[in-house]
Amino acid sequence: MLNSGVWHRRILNVYWTLAGIILAGQILSVRLHLKLAHEFAVSDVSRTLIVICYVVVLCCLITGEVWLRAKLKYQQQAVVVCGFIVSYLLYFIAEPFVDGAQMSLMMPLMASLIYFNRRLLFVIGGLNSLIYAAIYFMLERGLLGKALLDFLLMEVIFGGFVVMGLGIIVRSRETSEYLEQLTQSEQGLLVDRAIADKLLKIDALTGLYNHKTFHEYLDTLLEQCETNGLRLQLALLDIDNFKQVNDTYGHWIGDIVLKEVAAKISEKISLNDFAARYGGEEFAIIFTDKSPAEAFTLVEELRLAIASMEHHYAGDKPITISIGLCSYYTRSGKELLFRKTDDALYLAKRSGKNQVIICEEKKPA
């Protein structure tokens, strides 16, 4: 049960509190010579029995405390048994002086409701009816002269409480099942929404982010560059002679090449970097919080890794990429960053391919 240890502690605290209240009430009654429903005149034997009851109550509560603090097994059963014994002892103590003391016998039933334990509710309800019947016919009817109607009324109350408690337990389980179904439904909606959101952001073929998401992310990072001085480099990558691959081996081989290149890009970049399929055979990488030299080292390693990949399905011919790399400077703007990076990529393609070209390091005036 959720937080069962907390509820064990709370229930035991209630027993301690009730025992303390009844003891304090009796001490106060003796001192002030008050009358509580009867003349407060008890024999020495009665006083001895009351003292014995209090000693047993104290021992029972201490046993419950030790059981909980030692974290022994069957703590729920220990708390219920302790409460059952304490409730009957408190009933014996209060019954000669307080009308309606039978209500203390309801405590174990209420504990079974706190635990939402149907079996415990039936067991406690049955024991209450049997033990109270024995007490009435053996003690109360002869010694206290209680009417049979009082006994029958208490038995009806015990039975009615069990029936109502059963309804509460059943209703709580129905509510729990409903909440569980509702939670599962909400989780399903969240998963569906997450999948839909991912499909909107991810390129279906390569698994990298798509063109739209790339620009959204870049706009956000450029704002950070302007306000917080974030360092940023943009790399544009293009697969060399990709049209020839498609024309020679077919578009499905071209798709395999795109997937393998994308996988190598994902493998090489760090968690702080962002890669996307920019369009066709072109990819884009945003490097954040890196120096230009670090960004160059990463793209150069990526270029060499892709060039060394084997492609048996494409005649074992190497697949290479050309890369343009450019750093962003504050107040230069997104358009200038793209133009310079694209010019560097174009120069890499025109001057032999399979190389990295860094754009001109020209800061805005």
User: How many whole angstroms separate alpha carbon 300 and alpha carbon 296?
Assistant: 6
User: How many whole angstroms separate alpha carbon 107 and alpha carbon 104?
Assistant: 6
The DSSP code for 37 is S
Structure tokens at 292: 């230009």
Partnered with residue 236 across adjacent β-strands are 284, 324
Q: Any catalytic annotation for residue 39?
A: no
User: How many whole angstroms separate alpha carbon 209 and alpha carbon 199?
Assistant: 9
Residues 281, 300, 301, 360: which is the catalytic one? 281
In terms of Cβ atoms closer than 10 Å to its own Cβ (0-12, 13-18, 19+), residue 331 is exposed
Which residue in this structure is represented by tokens 């560059």?
225
Residue 188 three-state SS? helix
Contacts of residue 269, defined as CB under 8 A and 6 or more positions apart, other chains included, come to 275, 285, 287, 298, 302
Maximum pairwise Cα distance, the chain: 116
Residue 235 three-state SS? strand
Q: Catalytic positions, please?
A: 281
